[in-house]
Amino acid sequence: MISQTTFLQNTANLGGGIYIGNQELTIDSSYFIENSALEGGAIATMASSSTTLVELTQSTFTSNNASQGAALVALGVQKYDYSTSTFQTNTALYGGDFASVPTSLRLKIYYVEPFYLYLDSVTTKELLSSSSTVKMIFF
């Protein structure tokens, strides 16, 4: 547990203030100010287990910056609680204060010009292991 700590003007590729992988993370009454990273301006978490918990209580995230998730990016984390924290003037291209990357993605594409591609409820794992080649998908 991290408590009553200030993370000020830190820089990294992942998690300007904190990067943590495959561990539960609990932060209480802390400040993240002007941190920056490519992903997770203040915090980046990565988990391979759906039971990993990220809990941010009574913490303040101000003026953090990232390409994804200015305050927090959660890669593979499915359980998180940041409802009692405050987010102010954080800037990101994607995800705003918080960005989450799913562990799976389901696609339903019925018709794409000019390839006539038909997929129905295919997971990314099935698509990548498929013997067919997908050259382009438009959204």
Q: What pLDDT digit, counting tens, does each position of 96-131 carry?
A: 888 876 555 565 555 445 544 444 444 444 444 444
Q: What is the pLDDT of residue 104?
A: 56
Asked whether the beta carbons of 61 and 73 are under 8 A apart, the reply is no
Distance (Å, whole) CA 122 – CA 138: 16
Which structure tokens are listed for 40?
């997770």
Write down the pLDDT at residue 102: 59
Give the residues of the chain that fall short of pLDDT 70: 50-51, 101-139
Q: What's residue 87's pLDDT?
A: 95
pLDDT for res 42:
97
pLDDT at 80: 82
What's the pLDDT score for residue 123? Answer: 47
Q: What pLDDT score does 126 carry?
A: 45
Nearest CA among 27, 107, 94 for reference residue 66: 94
Output the average pLDDT for the chain.
79
How far apart are alpha carbons 69 and 86 in whole angstroms? 15
Q: How much is the pTM?
A: 0.72
Task: Provide the token pair at 117.
Answer: 């591609």
Phi and psi dihedrals of 41, rounded to 5?
Answer: -50, -45
The per-residue pLDDT for 98 is 83
Rounded to whole angstroms, the Cα distance separating 15 from 45 reads 8
DSSP SS3 for 70: coil
